[in-house]
Amino acid sequence: MKNNGLLAGVLFFAQATLFPILNSGLPLTQFSWRLAALVAMALALSFTQSAFSPRAMLIAAAVLGLLGCIGQWQLLPLVITQLGFSLLLNFQQLNVRVQLSGWFIQVIFLQLLLTIAVVQVLPAAFLTGLLLDIALLILPALLTLWADRLPGWSDVVLLVAMAGGGFLLQRLTLVTAAALLILTALLNPRIAKKASSHPALYAALATVQGLLMTLTRLHG
């Protein structure tokens, strides 16, 4: 994915950070330097997926991650996991789809890390809802990415099931459930033949869906 440049890095960063920060409702006045360090770590990890030097970005991410853990060392295992996963993704010969799939898995841990850093204490109900939300952001994008490699139209059936399940569980509104189906249809490789050659588009899909989920919740 190293040919996607600055825009790709920005989209990957937005995918990793916007939803956990906006969904937590954290006021800017409470944005601590430790949280800023973790957000900067996410930025460095995001740019390992673009045209920048992955080695330099990983070193920066390691330093920033350690700074972000000061005073909240329970986050250190998640930070170490991020760094190890980035090493695996960026120094192995992987095709674009496999590397992007690995990045999406990494986003799950990044969003958990940032949410814990913001909220600090996660009640069981909040954690369950958060995991459902992250699944509804990541799994549709992954299914869409691999749609043309799946049997028949099984991806469509699964996406409809996710949209319906998210609505029934009250994690999605009618608007966000419809948006999920429309956005994934627009990037389905069976329809958009060249979509899979622009992997950052799938990060954009998850980012837009996360913003829609946050906005609909803010406005009831």
Q: For residue 107, what pLDDT is reported? A: 92
Query: What global pTM score does this model have?
Result: 0.87
Q: For residue 104, what pLDDT is reported? A: 92
Mean pLDDT for the stretch of residues 205-210: 92
How many other C-beta atoms are found inside a 10 Å radius of the C-beta of residue 211? 16
- Closest-CA residue to 39 (of 22, 55, 52): 22
The three-class DSSP label of residue 36 is: helix
Give the tens place of pLDDT for each residue, 21-71: 888 766 555 678 889 999 999 999 998 866 567 888 899 999 999 999 998
How many other C-beta atoms are found inside a 10 Å radius of the C-beta of residue 29? 5
Q: Which residue range is the domain that position 196 belongs to? A: 5-218
Of all residues in the chain, the percent with pLDDT exceeding 70 is 90
Give the tens place of pLDDT for each residue, 92-144: 877 888 888 999 999 999 999 998 888 877 677 778 888 999 999 999 999 99
Q: For residue 89, what pLDDT is reported? A: 84
Determine whether 6 is exposed, middle or buried from the number of CB atoms within 10 Å of its CB (0-12, 13-18, 19+).
exposed
> Alpha-carbon distance 129 to 110, whole Å?
16
Residue 92 vs residues 1, 33, 38, 95, 106: alpha-carbon distances, Å = 12, 33, 25, 9, 16
Domain count across the chain: 1
The DSSP element (H or E) to which 175 belongs, if any, is helix 174-186
User: To 5 degrees, how large is the angle CA 112–CA 8–CA 30?
Assistant: 40
Q: For residue 116, what pLDDT is reported? A: 86
> Alpha-carbon distance 19 to 206, whole Å?
9
